[in-house]
Structure 1
Amino acid sequence: MARTPESTQRLSERPAEAARKAAHEAASRAALAAGALALPPGPLGWLTILPEMMTVWRIQAQLVADIAALYGRSAELGPSQMLYCLFRYTAAQAVRDLVVRVGERFVVRPLVGGALQKLATAVGMRLGEKIVGKSVSRWVPLLGAMGVSAYAFYDTRQVGLTAMKLFEREQVVEMERPATAP
């Protein structure tokens, strides 16, 4: 997630339509990957939780990069925008006041010091909840796989919608850079 993936997509004449299609395809891939990795039962299934999450995040990161390209905004896509798109939905549930308010006002401004630590802690707590929930679901393989798959599909669609809203904006706020002496 520290790197922004390269996109093979190009500026589209109808970016919203192309982005919706890309989001649906990515959501389907994420659901398939998550569902397949959720099939092993019991303790063996626990070993697939982290690889599943990483696989889904890679698919989602590629989706964000592709949507930025479809809107002709690849040059504006940096780590701040990537994190915003990937975790806005999850973080909004975990730390609504911190991420949503800061994110909506200063989408691309880097979070500093304590705010970044609070964000990381809150996201970590939410991810911990996901891990516990997913580990429980490993005991019921088929139902668990279906649930994990459905959640991955839904979550990836939310990432796509967030990216579309971000890149549909007329202008993405520039990242603050340290002031340089004239």
Structure 2
Amino acid sequence: MSELPAKPDSDGFAKKIVETITGAIARIPTTEMTESPMPAEAARTIARQASLKAAAAAGTLGLPPGPLGWLTIIPEMMKVWQIQTQMVADLAGVYGQTACLSREQMTYCLFRHGAAMAVRDLVVRMGERYLVKQVSLQAFQAIAKKIGVKISQRALGKAFSRWVPVVGAVGVAGYAYFDTAQVAKTAIELFERGLEPFPDALGGREPGLLESRESPPSD
């Protein structure tokens, strides 16, 4: 009877995830989508198609059992994030928000539901609109590190499910579908209300001064 191998080194795994995150959102994807007269309907279609695509990709990469399955964790995340970033760009297109789509907003959309504390200062709600804060490369790397630690802990906690053929792949696919749907939900809420740059709109005030009044979108 074969034994389960030890989990990958958590620090090294988290570092690889941080590198994957920064690579995934280093360039905002272009989109062929243009502003739609019925953006909500178009957005639902985009979200559904992307969720199915992410589920299929993750499920396929989750098929190899045992140690081989663990080796696909990073490629799976990379592929799913690639699908999600394109989805967010397409959603921005149908809502006419392509011009304001930034690295910070993309990060918020992708990880708000899974690492809320790490991205909570990137987007702040003020009235009926959302303000997007632009951060330095150093600050962005610090945010990516926080996200990486959070995601790596969750991924390692579920790693043993990959030891079971087919069953593990089904679970991976299901989570990818759910995760992509949550990314779409966050993006749609932002695009529906509209976005503005943070510094000029607040006259230089810091995000923390606003959060006592209004917090980021709720789950």
The question of a shared fold, defined as TM-score above 0.5 by the shorter chain, is answered with yes
Structure 2 portions without partners, runs of 5+? 1-24, 201-219
Against the structure 1 CA distance between its residues 26 and 137, is the aligned structure 2 distance closer, same or farther, given a 3 Å change threshold? same
1:10-89 aligned within 5 A:
10-89=34-113
TM-score after normalising by structure 2: 0.72
Question: What root-mean-square deviation, in Å, do the aligned CA atoms of Structure 1 and Structure 2 show?
Answer: 2.2
Deviations 1:3-49 (A, max 9, x none): 10011111111001100110000000000000110000111111111
| Greater strand proportion | 2
Structure 1 portions without partners, runs of 5+? 178-182
Structure 2 counterpart of 1:99: 119
Q: Secondary structure of 1:25's partner?
A: helix
Letter paired with 2:124: E
Quick one: higher RCO (CA 8 Å, sep 6+), 1 or 2? 1
CA–CA distance in 2 between the matches of 1:55 and 1:113? 24
Structure 2 counterpart of 1:126: 150
Runs of 4+ in structure 1 over 6 Å off: none
Q: Number of residues paired by the alignment?
A: 173
CA–CA distance in 1 between the matches of 2:59 and 2:178? 13
CA contact (8 A) 1:31 1:148 kept: yes
CA contact (8 A) 1:84 1:107 kept: no
CA–CA distance in 2 between the matches of 1:19 and 1:120? 27
What percentage of residue pairs aligned between the two structures are identical?
A: 49
CA–CA distance in 2 between the matches of 1:133 and 1:22? 31
Q: Secondary structure of 1:150's partner?
A: helix
